[in-house]
Structure 1
Amino acid sequence: MNDLFSGSSPRQRDNQSVEMTGTGGGVNLDQFFADVEVIDNDLRDLDQTRSILCTSHDRSKTLHNARQLNDLRGEMDADVSQALTKAKLVKVRLEALDRSNAASRTVPGCGPGSSADRTRTSVVNGLRKKLRDSMAQFNELREKMAAEYRETVERRYYTVTGERAEEAVVDALISTGQSETILQKAIGEKGRGEVMEAMAEIQERHAAVKEVERSLNELNQVFVDMAVLVERQGADLEDIEGHVNRASSFVRGGTQNLEVARKRQRNTRKWACIGIAILLLLIFILVLSLQPWKKKKKN
């Protein structure tokens, strides 16, 4: 598989992407589709990483030991970091494809609105749509983690204190992760050991959620930057399609007008022939009625 960032320079890669075939005179899109396949594989890797994160998050809900939660947090941090790196790489590669598409439009017969240009633009926008869908799924995961973290804090608070936590208490636990002051009453009633274990869990979950949330927010920003390009490129493609459709409409209209003109021309010729025939017939009848040859004989 040819990688988009192999040893050749960007200008050389662009020239390869728009290389003309020797016999057919068409554009060779082999390199373009090879680069597309690389990005497609990266997008599949992103989906796989998201699936792993979902599994890790589900597993975290069954853990209550702070050390186990810390180990799992390390795994999740690594997965999110990998997804962030992959997303940035996809962004760079998509931008490289945009430059390649721009270079392709300078080739005769491959300008804006041409079949090759529409193919390239449509494929790149298809990749961006996949990336946008992936962004939405990562955002759903981030929101799910935040909501379930809140539920876990409420549940652990009830387990330790036997009371339902007020919204302000839960907000304080979530925002700071510092639970010793809030659970001071429970420490006096149930003993420090049991409560400290719950506090350690809450604090570890807080650290895990905040770190993963920070990385997911950074990942989301990469996606947002690319989403802007998706909308812009989508508008460009629709504009190109509109021009092509209008041009096709003009061609169809011109063809229809030409056909009407041809019919009129044929009708004009037909009526001209009929008129000439009638005129000749009238002359013939007039000659027969006058019979000028008989007058010559009388003279």
Structure 2
Amino acid sequence: MTKDRLAALRAAQSDEDDVGPDDVAVNVDGNVGYMDDFFNEVEEIREMIEKIQNNVEEVKKKHSEILSAPQTDEKVKQELDDMMTDIKKTANRVRAKLKVIEQNIESEEHVSKASADLRIKKTQHSTLSRKFVEVMTEYNRTQTDYRERCKGRIQRQLEITGRNTTSEELEDMLEQGNPAVFTQGIIMETQQAKQTLADIEARHEDIVKLETSIRELHDMFMDMAMLVESQGELMNRIENHVQEAQDYVDTAKQDTKKAIRYQSKARRKKLMCAAIGVGVMLLLILILVLYFIINRDNTPSTPPAATHPPPDGG
């Protein structure tokens, strides 16, 4: 399900608009809906790219379904053709919309290269372009993989008929574009032979369609790939800054944890020292008290002086 990212995009614009006195002010000609239209366009392109991505996954399933079936299912093949047509149509729309955004960015650069809105547009355009190329690269890889699997299927079917071919020989046959080169010499007396022939012709037809599709998308693919490559240095710098910031945060977290541990250990040491000091003081006081008590008990008492009566005068 497609997520609603308009709020996040608008929040990003709001952050960009919070410029300080030394920053360049945003110039949007006072039009409140100026960036809203752009955000809506970005979301529409994102949804189309996700649609292509989902269709590519379905195409993979159809490929496996076709190759695993003992006989060609025309319904499944038609569904596959419809998906490929839809992918091509949607991809052309995405490419056209990205081109329009690119042209608008180039026009605005002549007016204000430091505009915050322009930076947002560049970032969004670059992100969408890279995602689009990633999805189309996966689609191209899927088609190429299916072509190789179809070749393998043809090669195995030819081996069943007693005709062994190398991969190079098979490629030469495919380049001729005539399924008869695969089936010449096959005796059609048995039902198995007829089914083998039909399967070879069906796989050959699939390969022809794949090659046509790959050629049709090649120019668009290369155009977008070159665009993303030109943006690569900028995006790599951004990614490096993000990674450096993340590394700094991670290091700061580790340092904080270490500081907390050291602080905790230092606090425990202080408490232990204080407890030992108090214990020593109490022990000294106890020793002094016992000392005075013992000395008092052991001191001998002085007898009173004898009194003599006065002499008698008689």
1:39 to 28, 45, 52: 45
SS in 2 for 1:200: helix
Instruction: Quote the Cα distance in structure 2 between the aligned partners of 1:182 and 1:205.
Output: 11
Cross-structure match for 1:60: 66
Whether contact under 8 Å (1:39, 1:93) holds in the other structure is yes
- Who is 1:144 aligned against? 145
User: For residue 206 of structure 2, what is the amino acid of its counterpart?
Assistant: A
Is 1:179–1:203's contact at 8 Å kept on the other side of the alignment? yes
Check 1:231–1:165 CA distance in 2 against 1; reply closer, same or farther (3 A cut): closer
Task: Specify which of 59, 68, 74 is matched with residue 78 of structure 2.
Answer: 74
Report which stretch shifted further, 38-47 or 175-184: 175-184
Please give the alpha-carbon distance, in whole angstroms, between the structure 2 residues aligned to 1:234 and 1:225.
14
Q: Which residue of 1 is the match for residue 87 of structure 2?
A: 83
**Aligned mate of 2:56, from 25, 41, 50:** 50
- Paired letter, 1:121: K
Q: Quote how far apart the aligned CAs of 1:176 are.
A: 4.6
Q: TM-score, normalised by structure 1?
A: 0.61
Is 1:94–2:98 an aligned residue pair? yes
CA distance in 2, matches of 1:76, 1:202: 18
1:115 maps onto 2:116 in alignment? yes
Give SS of 2:199's match. helix
Aligned mates of 2:149, 2:157 — CA distance in 1: 12
Aligned partner of 1:193 in structure 2 is 191
CA offset digits 1:133-159 (Å, max 9, x no partner): 112101211220121111111111222
Q: 1:193 deviation in Å?
A: 3.4
Cα distance between partner residues in 2 of 1:194 and 1:144: 27
Corresponding residue for residue 216 of structure 1: 214
Are residues 181 and 144 of structure 1, via their aligned partners in 2, closer, same or farther at CA, if it must alter by over 3 Å?
closer
Change (3 A) 1:191 1:178: farther
Determine the C-alpha separation between the residues in 1 that align with 2:118 and 2:152: 51
Q: 1:179 & 1:35 partners in 2: Cα distance?
A: 46
Q: Is the 8 A contact 2:177 2:208 kept in 1?
A: no
Name the CA distance, whole Å, in 1 between partners of 2:55 and 2:169.
Answer: 34
Larger-gyration structure (1/2) = 2
CA RMSD of aligned residues (A): 3.1
Counterpart Cα distance in 2 of 1:128 and 1:49: 18
Aligned length: 212
User: Residue 29 of structure 1: SS of its match in structure 2?
Assistant: helix
Alignment of 1:10-21 (within 5 A): 18-20=28-30
Aligned-pair identity (%):
20
What is the CA-CA distance between 1:78 and the residue it aligns to? 1.6
Moved more, 82-91 or 217-226: 217-226
Gap regions ≥5 residues in structure 2: 5-26, 239-314
The answer to whether the Cα contact below 8 Å between 1:56 and 1:72 also exists between their aligned partners in 2 is yes
Q: Is the 8 A contact 1:46 1:87 kept in 2?
A: yes
- The higher relative CO (CA closer than 8 Å, separation ≥ 6) is in 1
- Hey, what does 2:165 align to over in structure 1? 165
